[in-house]
């Protein structure tokens, strides 16, 4: 039976409940009275249930869909303003014993070069990432108990936090590794990992098992219950995601929101982030062989519906998507963006690069970080390298209560300006620097509190003139 509080995957992601939800959504997709009521409910910015949100996702009325997009934009602006948090993935190892049919790192792929970075190589990669201007990383690795051990991860995190090169520093390390035990999550927490990210890939158990024919990842329950164990291990920021294209998107959307509802019900804190990757071609993967691909319009509708359903959850988009798709969904709800990414093991530094192409998927946005930063500034977004919450212990429910009270806005905006100023001083091209300085002087007037405005102005001066770094609210 469906039970949002249960610790069993098949109760909180209940197949029957999803099917009923999809049927309810289909029956009501033209019910304009209900759709109007749901849009009004979403306007209160307290979110929607998976059933309610599924009706809006299924809605076919053009006028109502435009209202949904408009509301998504408003909620995005209310919660996240014009700030976009920047990050980069760092691939540690592509050794993997799983058989995921959609990923080129699957064990049977003999054509892809395999590589695991040593600690010396990680240090070189991190210096290269710091020289680009990154402050926030997402570590990526396949599942392999021989190569990719917990000790290896813990040592890698220590290496990364320990590198101080010029004015650079990685201030937040998030990690995307295979589902593991409560004890291991506790060790990751002690190593000061930020968000634990694990994509569900698909919430449909039957399909999940077909897509994962071999390896430990094939255990649907163990994988789906990973976030519960992570939270029990003390990691209170967790990142959800599905790989759109594996299953029908409406099924995944309902499952994703049910997962978020479960975490909120069971632990009092929902997911910190939701990622929205779409299946892409890769070494021995032909995305067109998967029958559930979604077009850009549907993708934009999904992003908008997630935004209005879970306003408190950050949304992440990677360089899998093109510049134009990224531009479109930034307006509708995405709050975090990767830039200048490499999805190869050792890809940021010539000395560490593997021989041959070891990338996990083809990039659509291949611009440098500076180009992405400049592009954002030209669209009036503030690229933010802020990691303040983590440094100040504002994670999990502490973070969520600050966010829900609206107080977080008094931190994010000034922090975005100060970290952008750091970036401009240390890494930006002359054109980006000039555009960024202009944006900062305009945006400083939008800091509501006079006291905070004065402090920010003084900190900006210290960054520019005294080479000081790492101010935060
Ligand atoms: Fe391995 Fe992850 Fe790729 Fe599956 S998706 S083959 S677990 S790296
Ligand atoms: Fe994120 Fe916290 Fe910085 Fe705001 S203040 S951008 S929530 S880390």
pLDDT per position as a tens digit, 62-85: 999 999 999 999 999 999 999 999
Q: Whose CA is nearest to atom 2 of ligand 1?
A: 142
For residue 199, is pLDDT > 80? yes
CA distance 459 to 454: 9
What pLDDT shows up at residue 410?
83
- Region 167-177: what's the mean pLDDT? 97
Domain over 77-366 is classified CATH 3.40.640.10: no
For residue 322, is pLDDT > 90? yes
CB of 384 within 6 A of ligand 2: the answer is yes
Residue 149: pLDDT band with limits 50, 70, 90: very high
60 in Cβ contact with 25 (< 8 Å): no
What pLDDT shows up at residue 406?
76
For residue 129, is pLDDT > 80? yes
- 157-160's contacts with Cβ under 8 Å and 24+ in sequence apart are 157/188, 157/191, 157/192, 157/193, 158/191, 159/119, 159/122, 159/123, 159/126, 160/90, 160/122, 160/126
For residue 353, is pLDDT > 80? no
Task: Give the position, in ligand 1's atom list, of the atom nearest the Cα of 140.
Answer: 8
- Region 350-374: what's the mean pLDDT? 88
Task: Give the position, in ligand 2's atom list, of the atom nearest the Cα of 387.
Answer: 8
DSSP letters for 212-274 = --SSGGG-HHHHHTHHHHHHHTT---EEEEB-BTSS-HHHHHHHHHHHHHHHHHHHS---SEE
Tokens of 349: 């530094």
CA distances from 184 to 22, 62, 83, 230 (A): 37, 48, 34, 9
CA distance 332 to 342: 26
- Region 300-319: what's the mean pLDDT? 97
Mean pLDDT of the chain: 96
141 DSSP 8-state letter = E
Testing ligand 2's pocket by substitution, the residue of 311, 386, 387, 398 carrying the most ligand atoms inside 8 A of its CB is: 386
CA 274-448-39 angle, 5° bins: 40
Q: At what angle do helices 32-43 and 62-80 cross, to 10 degrees?
A: 10
CB of 387 within 6 A of ligand 2: the answer is yes
For residue 355, is pLDDT > 80? no
Contact partners, residue 432, CB within 8 Å, separation at least 6: 370, 373, 374, 377, 424
- Region 178-185: what's the mean pLDDT? 98
For residue 409, is pLDDT > 80? no
CA distance 416 to 389: 12
Q: Whose CA is nearest to atom 4 of ligand 1?
A: 100
For residue 352, is pLDDT > 80? no
Residue 19 burial (CB count, 10 A): 12
CB of 417 within 6 A of ligand 2: the answer is no
Testing ligand 1's pocket by substitution, the residue of 103, 147, 360 carrying the most ligand atoms inside 8 A of its CB is: 103
Residue 63 burial (CB count, 10 A): 9
> Cα(first)–Cα(last) distance of the chain, in Å?
45
71 in Cβ contact with 43 (< 8 Å): yes
The ligand whose atoms approach the alpha carbon of 382 most closely is 2
CA distance 337 to 382: 12
Residue 351: pLDDT band with limits 50, 70, 90: confident
CA distance 420 to 428: 10
For residue 223, is pLDDT > 80? yes
The ligand whose atoms approach the alpha carbon of 213 most closely is 1
Q: Whose CA is nearest to atom 5 of ligand 1?
A: 103
For residue 403, is pLDDT > 90? no
Residue 449: pLDDT band with limits 50, 70, 90: confident
- Region 344-361: what's the mean pLDDT? 86
CA distance 62 to 426: 47
Q: What is the pLDDT of residues 18-64, one digit of tens each?
A: 999 999 999 999 999 999 999 999 999 999 999 999 999 999 999 99
Residue 291 burial (CB count, 10 A): 9
Q: Whose CA is nearest to atom 6 of ligand 1?
A: 106
- Which residues share a beta bridge with 337? 86, 317
What pLDDT shows up at residue 399?
86
Residue 153 burial (CB count, 10 A): 22
What pLDDT shows up at residue 401?
84
The ligand whose atoms approach the alpha carbon of 389 most closely is 2
- In this prediction the pTM is 0.97
Task: Give the position, in ligand 2's atom list, of the atom nearest the Cα of 411.
Answer: 5
What pLDDT shows up at residue 162?
97
Residue 198: pLDDT band with limits 50, 70, 90: very high
Tell me the three state secondary structure of residue 56: helix
Q: What is the pLDDT of residues 85-122, one digit of tens each?
A: 999 999 999 999 999 999 999 999 999 999 999 999 99
What pLDDT shows up at residue 350?
83
Share of the chain above pLDDT 70, in %: 100
CA distance 70 to 73: 5
CB of 241 within 6 A of ligand 1: the answer is no
DSSP H/E element including 17: helix 15-27
């Amino acid at each position: 039976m469906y039970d949002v509080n249960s610790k069993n995957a098949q109760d909180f992601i209940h197949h029957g409940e999803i099917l009923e939800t999809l049927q309810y959504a289909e029956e009501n997709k033209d019910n304009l009275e209900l759709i109007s009521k749901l849009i009004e409910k979403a306007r209160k910015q307290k979110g929607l249930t998976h059933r309610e949100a599924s009706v809006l996702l299924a809605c076919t009325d053009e006028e109502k869909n435009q209202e949904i997009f408009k509301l998504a934009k408003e909620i995005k602006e209310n919660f996240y303003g014009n700030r976009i948090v920047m990050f980069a993935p760092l691939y540690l190892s592509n050794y993997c014993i799983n058989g995921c049919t959609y990923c080129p790192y699957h064990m049977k792929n003999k054509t892809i070069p395999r590589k695991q970075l040593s600690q010396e190589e990680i240090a070189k990669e991190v210096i290269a990432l710091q020289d680009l201007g990154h402050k926030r990383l997402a570590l990526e690795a396949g599942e392999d108990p021989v190569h990719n051990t917990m000790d290896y991860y813990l040592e890698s995190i220590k290496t990364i936090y320990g590198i101080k090169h010029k004015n650079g520093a990685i201030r937040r390390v998030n990690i995307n590794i295979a589902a593991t035990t409560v004890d291991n999550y506790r060790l990751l927490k002690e190593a000061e990992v930020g968000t634990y990210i694990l994509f569900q890939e698909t919430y449909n158990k039957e399909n999940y098992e077909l897509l994962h024919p071999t390896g430990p990842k094939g255990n649907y329950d163990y994988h789906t219950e990973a976030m519960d164990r992570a939270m029990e291990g003390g990691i209170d920021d967790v990142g959800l995601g599905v790989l759109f294209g594996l299953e029908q998107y409406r099924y995944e959307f309902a499952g994703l929101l049910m997962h978020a509802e479960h975490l909120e019900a069971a632990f009092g804190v929902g997911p910190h982030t939701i990622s929205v990757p779409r299946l892409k071609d890769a070494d021995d993967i032909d995305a067109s062989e998967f029958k559930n691909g979604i077009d850009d319009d549907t993708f934009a509708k999904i992003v908008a519906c997630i935004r209005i359903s879970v306003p408190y959850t950050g949304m992440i988009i990677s360089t899998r998507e093109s510049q134009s798709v990224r531009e479109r969904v930034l307006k509708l709800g995405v709050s975090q963006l990767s830039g200048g990414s490499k999805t190869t093991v050792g890809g940021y530094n010539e000395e560490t690069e593997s021989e041959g192409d070891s990338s996990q998927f083809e990039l659509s946005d291949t611009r440098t970080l500076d180009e992405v930063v400049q592009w954002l500034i030209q669209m009036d977004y503030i690229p933010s390298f802020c990691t303040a919450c983590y440094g100040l212990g504002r994670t999990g429910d502490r973070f969520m209560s600050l966010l829900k009270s609206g107080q977080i806005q008094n931190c994010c905006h000034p922090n975005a300006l100060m970290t952008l100023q750091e970036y401009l001083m240390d890494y930006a091209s002359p054109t980006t620097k000039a555009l960024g300085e202009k944006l900062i002087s305009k945006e400083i007037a939008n800091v509501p509190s006079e006291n905070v405005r004065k402090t920010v102005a003084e900190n900006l001066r210290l960054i520019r003139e005294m080479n000081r770094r790492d101010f935060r609210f």
